[in-house]
């Protein structure tokens, strides 16, 4: 009952809008789903033991004794094992969520780069290094590059760090 109640609360929380642009109810829904799944774990393990043990014993005659023993052993230790299974499920869900987030971020950055950096050639002055931001390409050099007939456009810009 607790598990189904938490899953229902989680579902209802997903239907609510954000508060000041923050997905507060979304976070609460994720928490309710996580605890609902954890509370549901002993029931799922019991059901799997009841179904899988006899099913494996019927389908695979060579391991029928082992299947029934494993099923009975797991059924007897559901309270102890369910905590480990729930923790494993939560960790797999977190790993999946982080993987999705990283993939989404990577796609967003790739899209931004494709939309923003469209030039064929990028140039910078020789004296500008990772630790030295001094130096710009001179106006005379930019005019020479613009004079080349094959050059469609030149976009000159300078970067200056600003401590705030």
**pLDDT (0 to 100) of residue 98:** 92
**pLDDT (0 to 100) of residue 134:** 61
**pLDDT (0 to 100) of residue 5:** 95
**pLDDT (0 to 100) of residue 107:** 93
First to last CA, the chain: 55
Residue 68 has pLDDT above 80, yes or no: no
pLDDT digits 0-9 by tens, 14-48: 999 989 988 899 999 999 998 998 888 888 888 88
**pLDDT (0 to 100) of residue 58:** 76
Nearest residue to 141 via CA among 119, 125, 163: 125
| Alpha carbon distance 40, 82 (integer Å) | 9
Nearest residue to 156 via CA among 127, 132, 122: 122
**pLDDT (0 to 100) of residue 158:** 73
| Alpha carbon distance 45, 50 (integer Å) | 9
**pLDDT (0 to 100) of residue 95:** 92
Residue 63 has pLDDT above 70, yes or no: yes
Q: Are 82 and 45 in contact (CB under 8 A)?
A: yes
pLDDT digits 0-9 by tens, 80-135: 888 888 888 889 888 998 999 999 999 999 999 888 887 788 777 776 565 655 66
**pLDDT (0 to 100) of residue 9:** 95
Query: Which range has the worst mean pLDDT, 9-18, 28-37, 53-62, 143-152?
Result: 53-62
Residue 63 structure tokens: 């391991």
Q: Is residue 123 classed as helix, strand or coil in its secondary structure?
A: coil
Rounded to the nearest 5°, which phi and psi values hold at 19? -105, 115
Residue 39 structure tokens: 């509370």
**pLDDT (0 to 100) of residue 7:** 93
**pLDDT (0 to 100) of residue 133:** 57
């Amino acid at each position: 009952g607790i598990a189904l109640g938490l899953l229902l609360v989680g579902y209802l929380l997903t239907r609510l809008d954000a508060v000041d642009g923050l997905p507060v109810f979304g976070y609460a829904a994720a928490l309710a789903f996580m605890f609902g799944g954890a509370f549901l774990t002993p029931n799922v393990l019991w059901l799997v033991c009841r179904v899988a043990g006899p099913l494996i014993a019927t389908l695979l005659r060579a391991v029928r004794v082992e299947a029934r023993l494993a099923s009975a052993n797991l059924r007897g230790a559901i309270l102890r094992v369910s905590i480990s299974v729930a923790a494993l499920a939560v960790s797999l869900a977190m790993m999946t969520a982080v993987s999705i987030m990283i993939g989404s971020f990577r796609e967003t950055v790739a899209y931004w780069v494709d939309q923003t950096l469209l030039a064929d050639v990028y140039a910078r002055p020789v004296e500008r290094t990772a630790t030295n931001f001094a130096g710009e390409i001179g106006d005379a050099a930019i005019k020479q590059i613009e004079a080349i007939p094959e050059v469609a456009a030149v976009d000159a810009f300078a970067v200056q760090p600003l401590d705030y």
